[in-house]
Amino acid sequence: MISVPGYEVGGILLSEDEIRDRVKELGRRITEDYAGEKLLVIGILKGAFVFMSDLIREIDLDIETDFMAASSYGSGTESSGQVRITREPGISPQGRHVLLVEDIVDSGITLKYLKDTYFADRNIKSVRICSLLDKPARRMTDVTPDYKGFTVDDMFIVGYGLDYQEHFRQLSHITYLIEK
C-alpha cells in the first residue's frame, strides 16, 4: 500500500462498487433533470477528473466537456479563503446549462465563488454543482451541491481522484488518512 511520511491509510470508507452504483444513479438523475437540453459539464481539476470520467458515461444527453482549475487551498490542507483560477474553461459557457463537477465540497469557498461570481455575468442558462462527496462539517459558505454522491465526516479523504500531495488519486475506492 502507498504511504506518505506522517500518515497511514485507514480502512475503506467507500468501496469501488458503492461508488460505481452511486455514480450511475447520479447520471440517471442528471439525465432526467436535463432531458431535451444540451449540457456543458466542467470538471474542477485535479480531483474531479476520475469522478467526471465515470459520471459522463452515465449521462444520456448531448453533452460537451471541459475542465477548469480553481482552488482556495494552494498546497496546504486548510482553505486560504482566496480563490485562484489557474485554468479557465476553453468552451464558452454563454447561453448554456453548466454542470460543475467537483470531487468534494469542503469549505465551499471555491464553488461559491465559481457559481456566484465567476459564472454570474456570463449569460448562462443555469449552473448546478455535482460533487461526489459533501463534507458539511467544514462548510464556511452556504453552497450546497445540487447532486451529491455521499456525505462524509470531517476526516482527510483520499482515493478515486482525491489526493494528499498528489498521492492516492489512483485508488479505486475512497479511504482516509490517519496522522501517525
> Which DSSP symbol is given to 143?
-
The answer to whether 72 touches 109, Cβ cutoff 8 Å, is: yes
Task: State the cell numbers at 53.
Answer: 470520467
* Predicted pLDDT at 77: 52
Element (H, E) at 133: strand 126-134
Q: Give the contacts of 90 (CB within 8 A, at least 6 positions apart).
A: 66
Active site (annotated) includes residue 106: yes
Average pLDDT for 112-127: 92
Total number of residues shown for the chain = 180
Dist. CA 20–CA 17, nearest whole Å = 5
Average pLDDT for 85-92: 94
Of 125, 131, 129, 135, nearest to 156 (Cα)? 135
Average pLDDT for 93-108: 96
Percent of the chain with pLDDT over 90: 81
Q: Scanning the structure block, which residue is given the C-alpha cell 450546497?
A: 144
pTM for this entry: 0.92
Q: Per residue in 21-75, pLDDT tens?
A: 999 999 999 999 999 999 999 999 999 999 999 999 999 999 999 999 987 655 5
Task: State the cell numbers at 40.
Answer: 456543458
- pLDDT, the chain, mean: 92
* Predicted pLDDT at 180: 85
13-17, 37-41, 42-46, 79-83: least confident range: 79-83
What is the band of 5 on the pLDDT scale with cuts at 50, 70, 90? confident
What is the band of 115 on the pLDDT scale with cuts at 50, 70, 90? very high
Average pLDDT for 146-167: 95
Pick the residue with more confidence: 124 or 80? Answer: 124
Which residue ranges form the domains of the chain, and what is each CATH number? 19-154 (3.40.50.2020)
* Predicted pLDDT at 58: 98
Which of the following is catalytic: 21, 66, 106, 121?
106
* Predicted pLDDT at 91: 96
* Predicted pLDDT at 74: 53
